[in-house]
Amino acid sequence: MNVKDGMPTVLNEIQTEFETINRGYNDVFRSGRLSLGLVVPIENHGAASVPQMHRHIERVRLAESLGFAAIWLRDVPFNVPSFGDAGQNYDPFVYLGLLAGATDRIALGVASVILPLRHPAHVAKAAATADVLSGGRLILGIASGDRPEEYPALNMPFADRGARFRESFAYIRQMSDRYPRFDNHFGRSLGNMDMLPKPTAGKLPMLITGGSQQSSEWLMRNGDGWMTYPRSASAMAHAIDQWRQGLRDSGRPNQPVMQPLYIDLAEDPDAEPRAIHLGFRLGVNALLDYLRKRQAMGVNHVALNLRFNQADVETTLSRLADDVLPEFSERSKPSGH
């Protein structure tokens, strides 16, 4: 991944606006524009796989006041030491309920719920509840899971997670209907009962992570956006071009693309980028250059992760708000920042 790669020419001259879904999705994703979010916990815990969750609510509220578009929670059912990452420790849906009451405007994203490890009725109920309690701010990332060690604990096979992902997706979609009728691996309904609450927009915005063990045809026919890991500029531009061409070929509406980015923001604004895990140690000017190029190639949201950031977290957030957010935020900065 080279932050100084030239700017690819990917986007068409005419941009197609995204589908209108709920408040969070509509605020975060704008066609032809990039917005910025943060991965929770907003904490620099470096090599430690388990974060301390210090001041985690206070920092989410600070992120909201500074104008970040979204925060993103992880779904890590078990701490698998070989992966070196326990997520934010908490169950994402319980945590979403707390954050819904602790914030007012910032979008609440999950990146991503591991569908094969959860019954879709529970996912549908919890996600719709979080969406309603937050006033329509939920964005639900979904994935098939990549940690085989977790599956035996739930007596689930790892090999068929792709098929269960598809059935879970269909189940969750149908729970937005009134008195749905369906019959699949996870259960059946004869249309004589309903699930409440319903999502604020009539459906949950669901963004698919990577390939999730699905064919490209299935990916193009389903979902409301794509989450992918950062790649080199040329690889990302090619992937986005293929994604959007596939959507057009499938007759689907234009959809957003988002990626995470680990950053260690150097004190020197002109510090050249140096690669770290899925990101860079770099100065604010190199970060701006990177984000501008991602926006030009069609990335609509970048979720910044401060796990390896060496500077004080609050200081880093303030610097990002002063020097980076004004270019990528529709909302004017609050007074005092």
| Residues 105-131: tens digit of each pLDDT | 999 999 999 999 999 999 999 999 999
Question: Three-state secondary structure along 108-124?
Answer: EEEEEEEHHHCCHHHHH
Question: Any idea of the CA torsion for 201, 204, 209, 215, to the nearest 10 degrees?
Answer: -100
Q: What is the pTM of this model?
A: 0.92
Query: How would you classify the pairing of strands 279-282 and 274-276?
Result: antiparallel
Contact 29, 318 (CB under 8 A): no
Q: 100: which 2 tokens?
A: 């819904």
At 132, the amino acid letter reads: V
pLDDT tens digits, 12-65: 433 578 999 999 999 999 999 999 999 999 999 998 999 999 999 999 999 999
Q: In whole angstroms, what is the distance from residue 311 CA to residue 269 CA?
A: 13
